[in-house]
Amino acid sequence: MGFSHSTLASPTQANSAVNLAALSLDNGSMSGITTARIQARQLATRDSSRVQLAGNDTNKKQAAAAQLAKARAAKLTATQALTSKRASALAKAKAAADAAEKKARESATRCEIMLTGYHITATFGQGGSRWARNHTGLDFAAPVGTTVRSVMKGVVIFADWAGAYGRQVQVRHEDGTVTWYNHMSKFSVSVGETVYAGDQVGAVGMTGNTTGPHMHFEVHPDGGEAIDPAPWLRDHCGLNP
Ligand SMILES: [Zn+2]
């Protein structure tokens, strides 16, 4: 019980006491205290610089992260630009291909065989009791309803009943040649219509003078007399029916 509250010194008083005590100490002790203070100060400084260093590291990391984000963003933009450029190039290529395909499809010289699944039953110039004069076309026998197509691009100039020819379609092509499609069961076109090679004009039938279902095909250069369709198909279309 040596002390009471009243006897306790305030912190200021305590410091003064320490200072007074330090003054009363000899040089050796004094320098010991000073050394301790300097060390304490140095330690504090070092801690402070560590904090700064840590701060610097954080700043560097943040800067590096920002740089990386920036680089990534740039790369993304570049990729997007490239993707957009590629998409645009692809679209252009597709448009060009479509235009080329359309141009090829609409070409005046392109040919398509008039029907498939046929067999030739009579050739041009054949004589016989079936015809009043020698056969004026090429007969493609096929089941009734088989699609009959225009051999080349042209304009339909006739689509009507034509006596012994039955249902007949005539197509005038750009070089003036007229092709005839006969004995058909129906019409798929009307006069004035433009057809492209391969477009349906009708279907195989047995209308007019015929002993069985077939498509009698004729070729009339400049709308004149019929010629042999076989060499015409070969020379104009590379077709050998
Ligand atoms: Zn015929």
* pLDDT digits 0-9 by tens, 119-167: 999 999 988 666 567 899 999 999 999 999 999 999 999 999 999 999 9
Q: Are residues 197 and 223 in the same domain?
A: yes
Average pLDDT over residues 5-17: 51
Instruction: Tell me, in angstroms, the distance from the centre of ligand 1 to residue 164's CA.
Output: 10
75-99 tens-digit pLDDT: 888 888 888 999 999 999 999 999 9
Structure confidence at residue 2 as a pLDDT band (50, 70, 90): very low
Instruction: Tell me, in angstroms, the distance from the centre of ligand 1 to residue 52's CA.
Output: 104
**pLDDT of residue 7 exceeding 80:** no
Q: Are 188 and 234 in contact, with CB atoms under 8 Å apart? A: no
Whether residue 6 lies inside any domain: the answer is: no
Q: Are residues 224 and 135 in the same domain?
A: yes
For residue 84, give its domain range: 12-105
Instruction: Tell me, in angstroms, the distance from the centre of ligand 1 to residue 59's CA.
Output: 94
Whether residue 155 lies inside any domain: the answer is: yes
Structure token digits, residue 188: 């798929």
171-180 tens-digit pLDDT: 999 999 999 9
Instruction: Tell me, in angstroms, the distance from the centre of ligand 1 to residue 131's CA.
Output: 9
Instruction: Tell me, in angstroms, the distance from the centre of ligand 1 to residue 123's CA.
Output: 8
Q: Are residues 84 and 131 in the same domain?
A: no
Average pLDDT over residues 12-24: 52
- Say how far apart CA 47 and CA 51 lie, in whole Å: 6
What is the number of structural domains in the chain?
A: 2
Q: Are residues 85 and 35 in the same domain?
A: yes
Instruction: Tell me, in angstroms, the distance from the centre of ligand 1 to residue 135's CA.
Output: 6
Choose among 164, 211, 210, 161: nearest CA to 186. Answer: 161
Structure confidence at residue 6 as a pLDDT band (50, 70, 90): very low
Whether residue 1 lies inside any domain: the answer is: no
Domain's final residue, options 105, 131, 162: 105
pLDDT score recorded for residue 57: 79
Instruction: Tell me, in angstroms, the distance from the centre of ligand 1 to residue 122's CA.
Output: 6
Q: Are 229 and 137 in contact, with CB atoms under 8 Å apart? A: yes
Domain's final residue, options 105, 131, 165: 105
